[in-house]
Structures are given as C-alpha cells and as structure tokens.
Chains A and B, each alone.
Chain A
C-alpha cells in the first residue's frame, strides 16, 4: 500500500512538471492578462487575434500545408525505400540502412545547415523557392517512415506475395494488393511521425526556408525576441489549441485501440 502511494506520488510530481506550464498558460490564454500571475478577467481576445491576424493565419496554414506535403513525400519515398531495401541483397540492404541512420542520429542543426550549404550556397538555388525547405524536412522524416515500415515487412508472411504471382497476378498488382495492405499500419505511423517532426522542427526550417515564410517554430522564436505583447499572448492561445488537438488525438487513438482489443 505504502509502495503504491510512493509510486503514484513520484509519477504525479513528474506529470506536474510536464503539464503545469502548459496548463497555466492555457488558463491565462482565456484572460486579458499579459503576464502570468496577474489576476484579470475572462476574455477570448487572444483567440480572436490568433484567427484574425493575417500574419498568424498564414503562418499556421503554411506550416500545416508544409507538414502534409513533406509527410506525403516522405511516406512514398520511405515506403518504396523500405520495400526495395528489404528485398535487396544483403550488401545493398546494409548500405541503405546505414545511410538511413544518418539523419536519425545526426543533430538537426547539422542536417539543416548541410542541406543549406548544398542547395543554397553550392547549387545557388533562388532564395525564394521552397525546394530546399521541402527537401531538408523530407530528408529528416523519410528515415523514420523507413524505420516504421521495415518491421511490418519482417512480420509479413513472404509466401503471400509468391502465391499472388503464382496465381497469375502481375508484380505491380501484387505489390498494391498484397504487400501495401499488410504494411499499411507502418506507413500510417510513419506518416504521423513525419507530421509531428515537421511541426516540431526549428533548425532545418530556419536554415532552408525562404525569408518570407515562417513555420510555427521559427515564428515563435522570432516573436519571443521582438516582444509584441498582443502576438505573445495570441501564441498562448495557439499553444492551448495545439494541446487540445494532441489530447483529442491521443484519446481517439487509445479508444480505437481499446475497441480493437475488445473485438
């Protein structure tokens, strides 16, 4: 009994550390206060600013579109790469695996800076294109798609593909109808990971983005430097909204996993 209490206390303290800042900020995002700690009145002004300031709206939609484009690209590339590598000879498989590990373990600063050096400094691509940004983020995300697809390929029964071919299926069709459905959970989780990686990224974006474009991360970092109070408190609202979205997504995933268990 005593042991259980200590356990719960220990978990509780760490949860408090992790969530207190986010929750306090969430409470203050619904007030007209500009400082944590001062007592003010209820207000939805921050949310109004968040949704009506063109600069903020462009930044949010831009980041979301970027995340979707990068994740789609990474999913296709990573899935094809994983299938290709899985059915290749050992030496080639190993080579792909090694190259794939580099962006995973490398510091984001170095990944971003090196893509910037190649594309903007060495190849001198025009500064206003989104190509370096998309390429940089794709090179960060694709390895994670690859890593989540490979285990699914290992779990798959290799004979289903052979059986499909023996029954007269073309290889392309067998790929579409036999392999892809079986590894789909891996692709989906790779896609989700790419979305969160892109939304969280600061370093690759900051080194490769066009000057006129801001992601949530680069915008927040700039906003904390040039302290415009209205923008600062509107970002509290953004933080709260993202938190709510994450909570909803996690709840949904848990509930669907639960109903799957029940079946």
Chain B
C-alpha cells in the first residue's frame, strides 16, 4: 500500500484558491466594470467624466485634505504619547499602552455616536463646524492605530544609542532629531498607512458628524445606492491605484517581516 504523504506546502492551496477567487478576481471584475457602460460595452466615458467633472475632482481634493490633516493631527498627538509610554520610565508601560489602544476594540460607530453627543453638548449644533468635527471624529477613531505601531518601534530603540549620543556631546534636541526620529521612521510609516487611506474613505464619520461634503468613500456609497456599478467601480479603481502608490512608497509589499510594524501582533 502506498503511504499517503502530506506535503506541508499543499496545505496552502485552499488559501491560494480563496485569495485568487475572492481577492484577485473581484479586483479584475472592478477593472472590467470601470471601463464598460451599463450595456457591457467598452468605454472610457466613466474615466473622462470623472476627471473632467469639477465636483468629482473637488471630492478627490477634499478627501485628500481630510486625510492629510487627520494623519498629521494623529501623528502630532500619537508621537508624544508613544514616546512617553516607551521611554518615560514607566514600570508598566505596556499596561498603560493597553489603555490607549483599548478603544480600538469598541465598535467605531458606537464610539463616534458617543463623541457626537459630547460635541453636540459643547457646540450646540454640529453643522456649524463640519470640517473641525470631521477631523475630531477621524482622529478619535484612528488615534489608537497610530499610537500602536509608533510605540512598537520606539520601545525597540536601544537606549544605549541615545546615551552614546549624549555622551558624545549631542544636545537633547539633537539626540531626538538625529537619533530617535530617524530610527522611528518605520513606525511613522506604518502608522501613516493605517490612517491615511481609511481617512480618505471612511464616510460614516462624515455622515454622523453631519458633514454633507463628499469624500471618495461617499461616492462609492452613493453609486452603490443608485445601482451604478460602473462608476462605483471606477472610483474603487482610483482608490485601488492610490493604495498601490502608497504601498509602493512605503514598501508595504516588500518581503520584510516588519511590514505591519508589529501592529497586528
């Protein structure tokens, strides 16, 4: 009788099939729909319509603006927090860290509801400051995702580097800008990738904050509600290309072990 020998690499086949069918195939279908019209004929209409429409370009710019501002605000808040947690000499820094990332595990729609109630109390009417409230909402939602990778990178920086720099006469500011900041760039990069694209597309935060301006995600939502699969696909395709550009810049698809900055450990 032939002995059945299971090679370990064959175990990967179900997942390869799954990825091909439900990750790769949908993206190919998206490309197909983006360049056809409702009758299934090839057309560049969707594409030209997007890039010649002032509204659509405005939406693209507005979502880039929201994403850039959210990312900067998150970074400016998260960096000091992560730095203090990692290097502030707390005995149980990792327990404190838990406090900062715990909100990540509470449903974001419920958290935004809570924030909305507070802001309504403070501002009276949310509609007066739509942009400010959007940024607050996005920051509230994404801050833990920025703190975690930054902490993971900062905590790994060997303190002998900073000690050596000070021993050799570097001022505190120099130690930070010449030693710590460059070494923490991987954390910054993965934090930014965790925040930037979601901030461009998470239109639920805008809707809940009564911000009636569209971002890229809202376009997909409204085309979905209108059963306009072709234009919806085109927007998805644009976001997909943007995602690939960001990933290419940040090296997200390289083979290294550090691709997620330890954010999912």
Residues of A within 8 A of B (CB): 4, 7, 10-11, 14-15, 17-22, 24-25, 28, 36-37, 77-78, 80-81, 83-89, 92, 94-110, 113-118, 121-122, 135-136, 138-139, 142, 144, 146-148, 151, 154, 171-172, 175, 189, 193, 196, 199-200, 202-203, 207, 216-217, 220-221, 224-225, 235-236, 238-239, 242-243, 246-247, 249-250, 254
Given contact pairs A109-B201, A118-B25, A220-B113, A11 touches B121 in the complex (Cβ within 8 A): no
Partner of B106, one of A89, A148, A236, A243: A243
Given contact pairs A105-B252, A239-B106, A21 touches B114 in the complex (Cβ within 8 A): yes
Q: B162 at the A/B interface (Cβ < 8 Å)?
A: no
Q: B158 at the A/B interface (Cβ < 8 Å)?
A: no
- Minimum CB–CB distance from B54 to chain A (whole Å) comes to 23
Q: Tell whether, in the assembled complex, residue B207 and residue A94 are in contact, meaning their CB atoms are under 8 Å apart.
A: no
Q: Tell whether, in the assembled complex, residue B96 and residue A11 are in contact, meaning their CB atoms are under 8 Å apart.
A: yes
15 contacts between A and B (CB under 8 A): A10-B80, A15-B99, A17-B140, A21-B140, A77-B14, A84-B9, A84-B16, A85-B15, A105-B247, A107-B239, A108-B198, A118-B25, A138-B18, A142-B15, A146-B15
Q: Tell whether, in the assembled complex, residue B239 and residue A109 are in contact, meaning their CB atoms are under 8 Å apart.
A: yes
Of listed B22, B96, B104, residue having the most chain A CB within 10 A? B22
Q: B29 at the A/B interface (Cβ < 8 Å)?
A: yes
Known: A101-B252, A239-B110. 13 other contacts (CB 8 A): A11-B84, A18-B143, A80-B15, A85-B15, A88-B12, A109-B201, A110-B239, A113-B30, A113-B224, A117-B30, A147-B264, A221-B109, A242-B110
- Minimum CB–CB distance from B176 to chain A (whole Å) comes to 14
Q: Tell whether, in the assembled complex, residue B11 and residue A83 are in contact, meaning their CB atoms are under 8 Å apart.
A: yes
For window 225-240 of B, CB contacts with A under 8 Å fall at: 229, 232-233, 236, 239-240
A110 neighbours in B (Cβ, 8 Å): 30, 201, 220, 236, 239-240, 243
Q: Tell whether, in the assembled complex, residue A196 and residue B105 are in contact, meaning their CB atoms are under 8 Å apart.
A: yes
Q: Which residue of A lies closest to B90 (CB)?
A: A7
Given contact pairs A84-B15, A189-B265, A242-B107, A18 touches B140 in the complex (Cβ within 8 A): yes
Q: B20 at the A/B interface (Cβ < 8 Å)?
A: yes
Q: Which residue of A lies closest to B24 (CB)?
A: A99
Q: Tell whether, in the assembled complex, residue A217 and residue B98 are in contact, meaning their CB atoms are under 8 Å apart.
A: no
Q: Tell whether, in the assembled complex, residue A107 and residue B243 are in contact, meaning their CB atoms are under 8 Å apart.
A: yes
Question: Which 8 pairs of residues, A with B, have the shortest CB-CB distance?
Answer: A84-B12, A81-B15, A114-B26, A21-B114, A87-B8, A220-B109, A84-B11, A239-B110
- Could you tell me how many residues of chain B have their Cβ less than 8 Å away from some Cβ of chain A? 89
- Minimum CB–CB distance from A48 to chain B (whole Å) comes to 19
- Minimum CB–CB distance from A7 to chain B (whole Å) comes to 5
Q: Tell whether, in the assembled complex, residue B25 and residue A242 are in contact, meaning their CB atoms are under 8 Å apart.
A: no
Q: Tell whether, in the assembled complex, residue B198 and residue A107 are in contact, meaning their CB atoms are under 8 Å apart.
A: yes
Residues of B within 8 A of A (CB): 5-16, 18-20, 22-27, 29-30, 33, 77, 80-81, 84-85, 88-89, 95-96, 98-100, 102-111, 113-118, 120-121, 140, 143-144, 193, 197-198, 200-204, 207-208, 216-217, 220-221, 224, 229, 232-233, 236, 239-240, 243, 246-247, 252-253, 255, 257, 259-260, 264-265
Partner of B19, one of A17, A100, A106, A249: A100
User: Interface SS of chain A: helix, strand, loop or mixed?
Assistant: helix
Partner of B11, one of A7, A21, A80, A235: A80
Partner of B201, one of A107, A117, A135, A238: A107
Q: Tell whether, in the assembled complex, residue B9 and residue A250 are in contact, meaning their CB atoms are under 8 Å apart.
A: no
Q: Tell whether, in the assembled complex, residue B16 and residue A25 are in contact, meaning their CB atoms are under 8 Å apart.
A: no
Partner of B224, one of A101, A104, A207: A207
- Minimum CB–CB distance from B199 to chain A (whole Å) comes to 10
Q: Give Cα A249–Cα B200 distance, bound, in whole angstroms.
A: 32
Q: Tell whether, in the assembled complex, residue A85 and residue B12 are in contact, meaning their CB atoms are under 8 Å apart.
A: yes
Given contact pairs A80-B12, A151-B265, A239-B106, A105 touches B197 in the complex (Cβ within 8 A): yes
